[in-house]
């Protein structure tokens, strides 16, 4: 689904929802669940959906199978990343924010990351190209199925080098 901010669920006013382009999903294959979506999405990504505009809280619901997550960005993202790590079976589309706590934690735990070569052109609720985010995006890969799918996808990008652990911790002194 999308990155989103609070909205009036009846009118969808003041929404900031960025839907994943269909070609990304087509290349990655079928998902069991889209854990961050809304009822008025342009197409289905998963067999099951957690719809935030229907007041379904994906942080409180059980995630099932191989999940797709395009979480809200900004300060709201960290609990979604934590739940994604716990579930450990899926792919998440996020901004490549290397300075954030959650991204550095993902790297330090040895999580796989695939950096998309071009900026994602997100789509609107009707499926039309909307805008690029003005920043780079990457895929966080949880579990062996995720990495396999990205390798076979033909998506243009590069993996973060494996065994990326620092040789020594730098001090602030």
Instruction: Check whether 164 has a pLDDT greater than 80.
Output: no
Q: Examine residue 88 and state whether it is found in any structural domain, yes or no.
A: yes
Return the axis-axis angle of helices 101-108 and 77-87, rounded to nearest 10°. Answer: 20
The whole-model pTM stands at 0.84
**Host domain of residue 42:** 2-159
b/e per residue, 85-121, with b = 16+ CB within 10 A?
A: bebebbbbbbbbbeeeebbeebbeeebbbbebeeebe
Q: Examine residue 173 and state whether it is found in any structural domain, yes or no.
A: no
Residues 91-139: tens digit of each pLDDT: 999 999 999 999 999 999 999 999 999 999 999 888 888 777 789 999 9
Residue found by looking up tokens 């190209």 in the block: 129
Tokens representing 37?
């979506």
Q: Examine residue 27 and state whether it is found in any structural domain, yes or no.
A: yes
Distance CA 100, CA 165 (A): 17
Q: Examine residue 127 and state whether it is found in any structural domain, yes or no.
A: yes
Residues 81-103: tens digit of each pLDDT: 999 999 999 999 999 999 999 99
In sequence order, which residues have a C-beta less than 8 Å from that of residue 123 and are 6 or more positions away? 19, 20, 21, 22, 42, 129, 130
What is the percent of the chain with per-residue pLDDT over 90, rounded to a whole number? 69
Question: What CA dihedral angle connects 139, 142, 144 and 150, to 10 degrees?
Answer: -10
DSSP string, 24-36: HHHHH--EEEEEE
Span 16-24, average pLDDT: 88
Q: Examine residue 46 and state whether it is found in any structural domain, yes or no.
A: yes
* Least confident among 34-38, 69-73, 122-126, 128-132: 128-132
pLDDT given for residue 17 in this prediction? 81
Q: Examine residue 167 and state whether it is found in any structural domain, yes or no.
A: no
State the CATH number of the domain containing residue 104: 3.40.50
Q: Examine residue 107 and state whether it is found in any structural domain, yes or no.
A: yes
Domain count, the chain: 1
Q: Examine residue 172 and state whether it is found in any structural domain, yes or no.
A: no
């Amino acid at each position: 689904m999308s990155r989103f901010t609070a909205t009036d669920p009846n009118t969808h006013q003041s929404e900031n929802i960025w839907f994943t382009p269909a070609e990304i999903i087509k290349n990655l294959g079928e998902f069991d669940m889209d854990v961050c979506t809304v009822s008025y999405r342009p197409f289905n990504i998963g067999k099951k959906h957690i719809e935030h505009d229907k007041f379904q809280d994906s942080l409180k619901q059980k995630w099932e199978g191989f999940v797709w997550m395009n979480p809200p960005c900004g300060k709201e993202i960290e609990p979604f990343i934590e739940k994604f790590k716990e579930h450990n079976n899926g792919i998440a589309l996020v901004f490549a924010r290397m300075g954030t706590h959650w991204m550095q934690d993902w790297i330090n735990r040895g999580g796989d990351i695939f950096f998309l070569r071009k900026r994602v052109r997100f789509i609107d609720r009707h499926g039309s190209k909307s805008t690029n985010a003005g920043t780079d995006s990457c895929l966080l890969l949880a579990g062996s199925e995720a990495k396999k799918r990205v390798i076979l996808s033909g998506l243009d990008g590069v993996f973060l080098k494996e065994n990326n652990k620092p040789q020594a911790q730098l001090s602030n002194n």
